[in-house]
Amino acid sequence: MGQEIAFWILAVVTVSAALGVVLLRNVFRAVMLLVLSFLGTAGVYILLNADFLAAIQVLIYVGAIGILIILAIMLTREVPLGSPSNKFRIPAFIIAVLFFIGVGYAVLNTQWQVSSLPPAETTTSALAVKLFGEGGFILPVEIVPILLLATVLSAIVLVKDKK
């Protein structure tokens, strides 16, 4: 019962915050609602027994990405212009609604093979085994530092002052 209440609260908060991001005209309020939506997603992860993911969601999305976007908005000084919609507003709305109807139809009409096993209490050590252990995802884990290095270098090169 408590889980249901928590799910509905989190779902309403997350979806309405996301709606605020795309509908509000004030860019700064949109970022704040984006952070709220990230926090709601972290709550959904906790409901799904993914404690490690919830923690890094708060650290990376709320902490890092939220601050980065706020910083970019401050640097570009376009806040007075707001975030108006372009001429594709109505077609985009129709596409989004059609997408949602399609997803809903597909989800509700599929027989999911739901497992009856209970989820694990904690996932961190199991995830570590999955990522670093035998037959796991060690190669992608090794590729990630290269991606991050390329990201850091390209971000520095892109925003560096050209003398």
Partner 1 sequence: MSIGLEHYLILSGALFAIGLYGALAKHNAIIILMSIEIMLNAASIALVAFSRYIVPLQYTGQVFAIFTMVVAAAETAVGLAIIIAIYRNRETIDADKIDLMKW
Instruction: Considering only residues 11 through 70, tell me which ones interact with partner 1, judged by CB under 8 A.
Output: 11, 14-15, 18-19, 21-22, 27, 30-31, 34, 37-38, 41, 44-45, 47-50, 52-53, 56-57, 60-61, 64-65, 68-69
By CB under 8 A, what part of segment 121-150 binds partner 1? Answer: 123, 126-127, 130-131, 137, 140, 144, 147-148, 150
* Count of residues that bind partner 1 according to CB under 8 A: 84
Helix (H) or strand (E) holding 61, with range, is: none
Contact 130, 137 (CB under 8 A): yes
Shortest Å distance, C-beta 38 to partner 1: 7
Question: Residue 81 gets which letter from DSSP?
Answer: G
45 vs 16: CA distance, rounded Å: 18
The full DSSP string for 1-20 is -HHHHHHHHHHHHHHHHHHH
144 vs 93: CA distance, rounded Å: 36
Please name which of 8, 9, 31, 6 lies closest in space to residue 20, comparing C-alpha atoms.
31
Shortest Å distance, C-beta 91 to partner 1: 8
Contact 48, 76 (CB under 8 A): no
Shortest Å distance, C-beta 6 to partner 1: 9
Return the residue of 120, 122, 133, 138 that touches partner 1, per CB under 8 A: 120
Q: 107 or 163: whose CB is closer to partner 1?
A: 107
By CB under 8 A, what part of segment 75-114 binds partner 1? Answer: 75-76, 78, 81-86, 88-89, 91-93, 95-97, 99-100, 103-104, 107-108, 112-114
